[in-house]
């Protein structure tokens, strides 16, 4: 394990004792920061920014220069793998991600090849290595991937969706084809995350953004099981690298998730940390879960919500403070500073013996 001057995040992931609650923010390198918007303008587009290791490194580091965060997270996108599979990722302004080709039929699935991830996604690993070098021994770096099911939704729909109709219909109508697609994604994602560790990632996160759209039994079969196979592949090679699983909105499945082999679970704001902690019974650390909308209120309200979240988790270790989803572009950076300062000031009392 890498020796880091600030390892409070990694220790909290392992549910070891810490003197305060660590904090990082999903999408901390993002549009709410003027310096991010300037670098993105320099790159030309989101995709060009993400594929430029030097600029991806720069935007990863920007929030760390402003705020006393406890982790860096690779600046990238969850759709790098489908793009490397030849689907042609692009972004329609104001519309989110799109693919030039989508995967709708069993024949489409059969034709899809697992790419040589190391070769195709070199720009990601180069960014990880640059960030790792810039961070030195200061802070841990989080690598990440979209989950197999979440990547499948974009690949089948060809874009973001509200109901995931085509992707879910594939699960019900041609489950073998769906499994074949998920198998290919498990292979690609496992390679991808292992290569991020090789390049310098200290912890990993699986973003299962759309796990919460599935029926309970379908979630277990088509979202959680594929993630568990990735967890096994990572743990076999790197038993000490912690992995966070974030199935947004899938709270009815928290008990199963807490037995999945994940070290920590991400939570959105729709379940209290107290309830989630009871359900998970100390088997995992918990990350979250303030509603990003809180950052649109005034600083006093932000501080109140930080206190409420800390009280909800309660006394003891194993909590990583975060929002319940990514920070939104309309947040004033001063409000995020208030949130982070509040965690630093208010959390030590929850860690005293």
Q: Does 172 bind a second copy (CB under 8 A)?
A: yes
Only segment of 136-144, 186-194, 202-210, 246-254 that touches a second copy (CB under 8 A):
246-254
Site string for a second copy, 297-336 (x = CB under 8 A): xx--x---x--x---------------x---x-x------
Q: Does 212 bind a second copy (CB under 8 A)?
A: yes
C-beta of 243: minimal distance to a second copy in Å? 23
Task: For tokens 């992995």, name the residue.
Answer: 243
Out of 9, 154, 269, 313, the only residue in the binding site for a second copy (CB under 8 A) is 269
For 184, phi then psi, to 5°, come to -65, -40
89 scored as a contact of a second copy (CB under 8 A)? no
Burial (CB count within 10 angstroms: exposed 0-12, middle 13-18, buried 19+), residue 125 = buried
Give yes or no: 66 in active site: no
* Six-digit token string for 286: 């918990």
Residue 299, judged by CB atoms within 10 A of its CB (0-12, 13-18, 19+), counts as: middle
Total number of residues that touch a second copy (CB under 8 A): 38
**In three state form, how does the secondary structure of 266-303 look?**
ECCCCCCHHHHHHHHCCCCEEEEEECHHHHHCCHHHHH
Q: Give min distance, CB of 298 to a second copy, in A.
A: 7
Tokens found for residue 58: 């720069």
Q: What is the rounded CA–CA span in Å between residue 193 and residue 203? A: 10
Q: Is 278 a catalytic residue?
A: no
Residue 257 binds a second copy, judged by CB under 8 A: no
**What would you report as the CA-atom Rg of the chain, rounded to the nearest whole angstrom?**
19
Q: How many residues does the chain have?
A: 353
5 DSSP assignment: S
Candidate residues 110, 111, 216, 236; the one interacting with a second copy per rule CB under 8 A = 216
Q: Which is nearer to a second copy, 167 or 285 (CB)?
A: 167
Q: Is 45 one of the binding residues for a second copy (CB under 8 A)?
A: no
Of 11, 15, 27, 132, the catalytic one is 27
Residue of 31, 229, 303, 307 marked catalytic: 31
Q: How far apart are CA 117 and CA 84, in angstroms?
A: 8
The two structure tokens encoding residue 343 = 């965690």
Sole window of 56-64, 75-83, 98-106, 156-164 interacting with a second copy (rule: CB under 8 A): 156-164
Q: Which residues bind a second copy (CB under 8 A)?
A: 162-165, 168-169, 172-173, 212-219, 249-252, 269-272, 275, 290-291, 293-294, 296-298, 301, 305, 308, 324, 328, 330
Give the catalytic positions in this structure: 27, 31, 40, 77, 154
């Amino acid at each position: 394990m890498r020796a880091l001057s600030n390892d409070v995040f990694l220790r909290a992931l392992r549910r070891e004792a810490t003197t305060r609650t660590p904090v990082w923010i999903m999408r901390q390198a993002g549009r709410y920061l003027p310096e991010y918007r300037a670098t993105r303008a320099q790159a030309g587009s989101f995709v060009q920014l993400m594929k430029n290791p030097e600029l991806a490194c720069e935007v990863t580091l920007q929030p760390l220069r402003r705020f006393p965060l406890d982790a860096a997270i690779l600046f990238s996108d969850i759709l790098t793998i489908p793009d490397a599979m030849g689907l042609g990722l692009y972004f329609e302004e104001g519309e989110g991600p799109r693919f030039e080709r989508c995967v709708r039929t069993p024949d489409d699935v059969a034709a899809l090849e697992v790419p040589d991830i190391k070769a195709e996604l070199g720009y990601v690993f180069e960014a990880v290595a640059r960030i790792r070098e810039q961070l030195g021994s200061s802070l841990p770096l989080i690598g990440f991937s979209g989950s197999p099911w979440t990547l499948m939704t974009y690949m089948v729909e060809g874009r973001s969706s509200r109901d995931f109709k085509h992707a879910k219909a594939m699960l019900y109508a041609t489950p073998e084809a769906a499994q074949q697609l998920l198998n290919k994604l498990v292979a690609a994602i496992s390679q991808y995350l292992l290569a991020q560790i090789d390049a310098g990632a200290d912890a990993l996160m699986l973003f299962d953004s759309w796990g919460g759209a599935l029926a309970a039994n379908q979630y277990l079969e088509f979202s959680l099981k594929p993630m568990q196979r990735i967890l096994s592949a990572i743990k076999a090679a790197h038993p000490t690298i912690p992995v966070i699983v974030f199935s947004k909105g899938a709270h009815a499945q928290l008990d199963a998730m807490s037995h999945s082999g994940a070290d920590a679970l991400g939570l959105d704001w729709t379940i209290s940390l107290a309830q989630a902690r009871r359900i998970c019974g100390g088997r995992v650390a918990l990350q979250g879960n303030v509603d990003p909308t809180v950052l649109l209120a005034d600083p006093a309200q932000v501080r109140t919500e930080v206190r409420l979240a800390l009280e909800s988790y309660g006394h003891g270790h194993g909590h990583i403070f975060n929002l319940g989803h990514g920070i939104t572009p309309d947040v004033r950076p001063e409000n995020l500073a208030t949130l982070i300062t509040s965690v630093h000031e208010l959390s030590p009392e929850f860690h005293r013996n």
